[in-house]
Structure 1
Amino acid sequence: MPHLLNTNRKGNAMSNCQTHENHNHVHGAGCGHTAIRHNGHVDYLHDGHLHHEHNGHYDEHVLEVNDTNADGCHPVHTCGSHVHGAGCGHEAVPHGDHIDYIVNGRLHHQHGDHCDDHGPVEIVG
């Protein structure tokens, strides 16, 4: 459930966050989850979610669609007959309004009979 966090000196809300409820795992270096740098901080991939520690809880983050991580049809020819999806062996990451899969540091999105390249991700560590 989303809730407002952080206010500036005038008391105006600065950001919204969506909390991942009942999350007992502590993310950090060596925790076993892939760390991704985005928007000036590090998030951790955990079961298809992108988690960011914030004020004693974990927020659910999504990689934004932008010039670096575009949306749309950008076919990749290196996937061959591999089909990205649950259990395909690649980590799922939320990107915009869909799920992409990390392949060699890039976001791949299954699109019908081919795979689209949705840009690079910076994996930390």
Structure 2
Amino acid sequence: MTTLHVEHPAHRHAHGPDCGHIEVPHEDHVDYAHDGHLHREHGGHWDECEQDDHVAHEGHEHRHGADCGHQSVLHGDHVDYLHDGHRHAAHEGHWDDH
């Protein structure tokens, strides 16, 4: 899975455990959900976390929704669901693994 490196140059807010935004564990770092974006600290600045490839979560039978018990995170034009250290998003009849 590859993530694009897109700097968020006007991001002055410093995310952290007490900043009030949802923490999203992601591989070796933490993303923060902020105004429909996912931000991560990188080299003294904040990046927009956008995956540049499509990865279907094979065998994911669980259906996410308002009452599924997993935290939802607004991400651009859709909602991701935090599930077992992954972000899942509905896509063309299956769940993508972000």
Q: Does TM, scored on the shorter chain, surpass 0.5?
A: yes
Q: How much has 1:43 moved relative to structure 2?
A: 1.4
1:11-34 deviation digits (Å, cap 9, x = unpaired)? xxxxx7311121121100111111
State whether structure 2 residue 16 is matched by structure 1 residue 28.
yes
State whether structure 2 residue 72 is matched by structure 1 residue 93.
no
Computing the radius of gyration from Cα coordinates, the structure with the larger value is: 1
Aligned pairs, number: 88
Q: Using structure 2 for the length normalisation, give the TM-score.
A: 0.59
Q: Using structure 1 for the length normalisation, give the TM-score.
A: 0.49
Conservation of the 8 A alpha-carbon contact between 1:33 and 1:44: yes
Partner of 2:34: 46
Q: Which 5+ residue runs of structure 1 have no aligned equivalent?
A: 1-15, 83-88
1:63-116 deviation digits (Å, cap 9, x = unpaired)? 5757xxx4278665464xx6xxxxxx931237xxx844216665231647xxx4
Q: Which 5+ residue runs of structure 2 have no aligned equivalent?
A: none
Q: Counterparts of 2:64 and 2:27 in 1: how far apart (Å)?
A: 28
Q: Which has the higher contact order (CA 8 A, sep 6+)?
A: 2
Q: Counterparts of 1:78 and 1:59 in 2: how far apart (Å)?
A: 27
Identical aligned pairs, as a percentage?
32
